[in-house]
Amino acid sequence: MIIENVHIAPVVGPEIESGHIRIEGDRIVSLGAGPAPEGDGDRIDGTGCLATPGLVNTHHHLYQWASQGLAQDATLFEWLVALYQVWAAMDAEVVHGAASAGLGWLALSGCTTSSDHHYVFPTGRGDLFAAEVEAAREIGLRFHPARGSMDRGKSQGGLPPDVVVEKLDDILTATQEAIDTYHDPSFSSKLRVAVAPCSPFSVSAELMTESASQARAAGVRLHTHLAETLDEDEHCVEQFGMRPVDYMEKLGWLGPDVWFAHAVHLSDGDIDKFAATGTGSAHCPSSNGRLGAGIARVSEMLARGANVGLGVDGNASSELTTMAGEMRQALLFQRARYGPTALTARQALEIATLGGARNLGRQDELGSIEVGKLADLALWRVDGAFGSAVADPVCQLVFGTSQPPLARLLVGGETVVEDDELRTVSQDAVGRAGADARDRLLRTAEELGFSAAKEVHS
């Protein structure tokens, strides 16, 4: 396949105003200025389009598609306490519907690789992990599901009610099973599993250290929430006698195989530790804004050499958030805090692509348009009647409130989206599946007598 006459923003290397990209199989085999040399293959005319690497989402909870719009004015801890019991009512059908809609939504905003952090596994409600893996296969995105867990319920000093936590041994067994069944370490892999106990306030120290050993023995990555709110800071100081990053360091959780969600409340020393150890973070600006959690020090983290990727976070705390839109949120929040040079449009594009690839340990395969990398590309139509008034296509993509039309989304050279329409599945069907998942989840929560389900409606 050859894409021609296209403005290429490769993230690594110089931009090309009108050039071509040649794809063979699932890889990029050449790119350059001007038209492609003669040759076989489908030719896509990219006139009026901007080509970027596919966006990489490094923090999500897909099941939350089914609980959007609830507890709208709550802090993180209030929001969690309201929603834990609703989530306890989920089953495999809810997860499949929610993941289908959530991943379809991400694809439509230029995302080619998504992680997911699933940490609520009520007993006897089907194989929830398999349900989201199946949804990702159907949509056609590269998928990095993280087997999450919670073992520290209220009776142990944790935040979640005991009804939604699991036993440590059961967690380790199920996590190993997920790795053995699904993890594919190959270069072109469309599915890699990570190990992801939920957060310091819902997980025991023992589960954190056991999870790290398990992940390192299996050669998979580690992920958790960290330093999201000041309440978490307080909780850690009270219960463990130290702040979140120090606690994770003590548990062996800093390193190049670890990426944390949020990392909002970091000291200078914390940032330096991230940089020195190669620990990554997933910046989730919409969710942090929605919950009033604070703003991560992204521009300082980048300046000090710490890797930052982007994440939309679960849709229950960032309703209908898109990957393309998170570039804008990241840019505006940093500028609001630090001034107009804090983050450029191209830096925002870089953290949304290569920064994300680094979080997932895939910087050699994904995150930039380079020869030898996987052909995961987004083609944005920037010559629209309104959009073409913006001189710089990357500025149009990142600064605009609404994203430019998505002419094509390729994952490993395969078309997933064409002209703003999913091609791998019926777009209407996956949208409806998401709304049906919400109905089923809220109905079941009420049937099970979880009072929170009613409270959060209001």
Closest CA to 352 of 326, 380, 381: 326
Our CB check for Zn ion shows the closer of 96 and 283 to be 283
Dist. CA 113–CA 178, nearest whole Å: 19
- State which of positions 416-435 bind Zn ion (CB under 5 A): none
225 contacts 231 by C-beta, under 8 angstroms: no
CB of 224 to Zn ion, least distance (A): 9
State in angstroms the smallest separation of the CB of 211 from Zn ion.
17
* Region 377-396 residues binding Zn ion, contact defined as CB under 5 A: none
CB of 388 to Zn ion, least distance (A): 37
Token pair listed for 222: 């580690």
Toward Zn ion, which CB reaches closer, 202 or 347?
202
The nearest distance, CB 359 to Zn ion, in angstroms, is: 14
Residue 316: CB minimum distance to Zn ion, A: 9
Nearer to Zn ion, 96 or 223 (CB): 223
**Interatomic CA distance for residues 197 and 96, integer angstroms:** 21
Select 326 or 365, whichever has its Cβ closest to Zn ion: 326
Beta-carbon contacts of 315 under 8 Å, excluding residues fewer than 6 positions away, are 61, 64, 65, 68, 102, 321
The residue count of the chain comes to 458
Name which of 238, 382, 243 is nearest 324 in CA terms: 382
Which CB sits closer to Zn ion, 62 or 410?
A: 62
Residues 89-128 vs Zn ion: string with x where CB under 5 A?
----------------------------------------
SS3 assignment, position 346: helix
Q: In the complex, what is the shortest distance from the CB of residue 159 to Zn ion, in angstroms, rounded to a whole number?
A: 14
Site for Zn ion in 224-243 (CB under 5 A): none
Which residue lies nearer to Zn ion by CB, 226 or 342?
Answer: 226
**Cα separation of 233 and 115, whole Å?**
26
Residue closer to Zn ion by CB (options 257, 313) is: 313
Alpha carbon distances (Å) from 255 to 63, 273, 277, 302? 28, 9, 5, 17
The closest of 93, 109, 102 to 139, measured between CA atoms, is 102
Q: How far is the CB of 225 from Zn ion (least distance, A)?
A: 5
Q: Min. distance of Cβ 365 from Zn ion in angstroms?
A: 25
> How many residues line the site for Zn ion (CB under 5 A)?
2
113 pairs with which residues across the strands? 56, 142
Stretch 321-340 residues interacting with Zn ion (CB under 5 A)? none
For 445, the token pair is: 């929560």
Would you put residue 31 in left (φ > 0), alpha (ψ -120 to 50) or beta?
beta
What type of residue is 1? M
- Taking residues 249 to 288 in sequence order and writing x for each that binds Zn ion by CB under 5 A, - otherwise, the string is ------------x---------------------------
Nearer to Zn ion, 149 or 396 (CB): 149
Instruction: Fill in the per-residue mask, 304 to 323: x = in contact with Zn ion (CB under 5 A), - = not in contact.
Output: ---------x----------
Binding residues for Zn ion, rule: CB under 5 A, are 261, 313
